Amino acid sequence: MSVDIQINRFDEWPAAAGFGALFEAAAIAALATADRPLDGELSITFVSELEIQDLNRRYLGVPHATDVIAFDLAVADELLGDIYVSPALAQGASGELGIPEVEELVRLVVHGVLHVLGHEHEEGEARYASPMFQLQERIVKRLTGDRP
């Protein structure tokens, strides 16, 4: 596998600062699940809630913010993807779930990479039983360990 991974603007967010290597490891772990050798580029950028809301509206036609957006920009067999993660929304979710913010950020990175690889899931509650979510949670658990 020869994928150039860029992790951008993570140090601008207190919950993410200093965890660049963990986010890169999360991307590599998700990429390792691909059923083929990968070459290309992957960009992961941490953005504000307003920025991700604007991306969602402009490119996906959805007028509200979301926690992660993934764009598969591949040409032919080359992997090329842009992933945007909202630490502000991850903070809210981690509080609701009672988990560390960095764990939720790892989850969002893995989730975005899996989407770039072509994985999909249902919407609503059914999404949690999907193969994509099960794979995501195995990766997250391996990277962050068990919580008490």
pLDDT of amino acid 69: 97
Q: How many domains does the chain have?
A: 1
Residue pair 103/144 in contact by the 8 Å Cβ criterion: yes
- 3-class SS letters over 22-76: HHHHHHHHHHCCCCCCCEEEEEEEECCHHHHHHHHHHHHCCCCCCCEEEEECCEC
Q: Which domain holds residue 102?
A: 2-144
Which CATH number does the domain housing residue 140 bear?
3.40.390.30
| Residue 53 to residues 62, 71, 122, Cα–Cα distance (Å) | 8, 15, 21
* Side chain identity at residue 112, one-letter code: G
- Token couple for 109: 């990175």
pLDDT of amino acid 148: 45
Q: Does position 138 have pLDDT exceeding 80, yes or no?
A: yes
Predicted confidence (pLDDT) per residue in 108-122, tens digit: 999 999 999 999 887
Predicted confidence (pLDDT) per residue in 1-44, tens digit: 689 999 999 999 998 999 999 999 999 999 999 988 888 999 99
Return the bridge partners of 41, or none. 4, 80
**For the chain, percent of residues with pLDDT exceeding 70:** 97
pLDDT of amino acid 123: 81
